A = this chain, B = another copy of it.
Amino acid sequence: MSCSEAYTPQLRARGYRMTPQRLAILHVLHHSAKHLSPVQVYEQARADVPSLTETTVYRTLEFLAENGLAHPAHLGNGHLVYEIAGHEHHHLKCRTCGSETEVEHALLQKLYRQLESESGYHLTDSHITFFGLCPDCQKGE
């Protein structure tokens, strides 16, 4: 299934339009193995849509995140990066060497339930970064 076939109906269903810019950006995210910064997305998507601007990339990434097609992440440098939605997970990142590990959301399921029942909130987010020391860097302490 192409990116267009996959994502266009999702946008239409919410009253939004598919555009070459959005499609190019979705395509970049969909085929990236890792989180991408807005500038990285811009540079790659520009190959498809030369008229693309950084303004549109920033707005589109935020739009996709609001509509559940992309997930923003804070990986510790204070800057947002994005990835395509679909795989529910979180991250563990080492403060010393920067190494990262994924954590399945299923592992936090229980905690989410507990937080929900204690607070009354219904938790919707599932892309969090926890920080710490990786096994290797603990040795060097």
Give me the interface of A with B, judged by CB distance under 8 Å: 72, 74, 78, 80, 92, 94-95, 101, 103, 107-108, 110-112, 114-116, 118-125, 128, 130-135, 138
Contact = CB atoms under 8 A, between A and B. Distances in A.
A108 B107 CA distance: 13
B95 A124 contact: yes
A121 B130 CA distance: 10
B120 A134 contact: yes
A72 B110 CA distance: 26
Contacts of A92: 115, 119, 121, 123
B130 A115 contact: yes
Given A107-B115, A118-B107, A131 B124 contact: yes
A110 B115 CA distance: 12
A80 B80 CA distance: 11
